[in-house]
Structure 1
């Protein structure tokens, strides 16, 4: 298509460009100034009329970068909704995306496109759920819960899925999995062993010199053979402990800090072989220091109650 000089200049101005030299022809670069950002560019008139491209490349690059940031924010939020914490930057809908699965603690690499298509993201969790669902009868599952003193408050899904129940003894609501109940667990509030979520507790920070690692965790406030002593057998040293009124408070502090640090790009540092119990709460000490974890705990729960007196046994 031919253009006379006046019509050509009108096309350029409509695209936000002011010509700085005479019209050279449709197929030749035409030196112009962008009326939006002031940049000097040289698009071809044919590229504007033939493909409706933006005439100013700097403006187009900024728009694309903003769109990419927006897309990444939405993609990260969607992955977290599916229980996956991204461990690297978003590259696009069709590329494998390395993530930590909050369900089983393993690293998986689904594409964002597969998540949008309705897939679960973690193949291991999907296989476990599918296998459990095929094997288990809902009525028998509910009977198992009632035998453990828990009344289901919602339909059964799988043995690995948290199941909202009310404790017949204490009346509190919790979400154990059927697998945990069948392994001998019961109401977390009525438990006479392990971590008591209703009793005084503490959030702690331990360090490992050989692994150059730090870890955050929770433990009961009055326990003698507690988690900290267990970690000491693997070479961990206590750096800090912060007392809170209940185990529920301790878990909220721990999980809030973990989510924030994982969202900031700090992945799990050690493996289950290096720390069999608690490896998912470890960090590289060169990226997250013990002092930073201590300060984060103090910020999350500023008022620290004094250490409770040990229980007296009669």
Structure 2
């Protein structure tokens, strides 16, 4: 049996279910097929060079026939035919996008252009979609539709970081424009406005003006001090009395994007702040290194999100909290063992301009936000 199949036995017959060492009389390679496999499956004896040559011969196609197959499926080859299973750069006849195709994939039904189908648009198509939605890209296309893309809104000139998928689904996508249009949609009548004030511990002292965007003189039911909050700002930011409530960052007021270093963990952190509040506590001190002063905190958020996207897409994970909580990680951090401070500064300076390395940012009379890496008012660590 083995001799008829082109192999010479090297040992006595071990049994039909056991490997039988033999030598291929064509290529000289030693194999160990099972007798049952040869008889029942009808396969060859040699599993090496001879098998590869048979497969290559079966898959081999004429270059003209291969090119004709590609053209029939809408692809114009740009290089000589490399082989059925090898990458073959080709241009889509419909959208002129260059893709790496394989003849075997095309013949098996995977011939559709992902750019025409909208699954993987090229840079030119993605940029055209953003510009049609009145968004000007400020960074190269990240390569995936679900990744944030730093852009500038043509309507309000503020920065935004929408994903290409959200723009394709909703059209113009800018949080600053959305914030301007929100008050009109969230207009409150007198009963709703009074209920909103009382819910946040504020007792109105003047009649309702009819405009929920107008400051309303009121008294705090906790500290008995007077203030003039805007009713529409209360539900979104959970603000009550400005004297006894911790203020978050106001997106329309000036803010800072900062980089800081935690020396014990060798961690690089970034975030948004409004004011001079330092990142430090008795156990883990964050040492600020660079600041970018921006006219609106929402622009600082956009730059911070862009920095995070760039670092994560290049394989730089966040830093673990170690002994405090081994399973948790700071979302706004990266290890200094993997990325340098200079590299992070350059990533931001490409889109935000030169950084400031002064000891303190200008006073804005605001506290640091929850974007601060690991910040908590009580413990110095993010909850």
TM superposition score normalised by structure 2: 0.35
Give the helix-richer structure, 1 or 2.
1
TM superposition score normalised by structure 1: 0.41
Q: Which has the larger radius of gyration?
A: 2
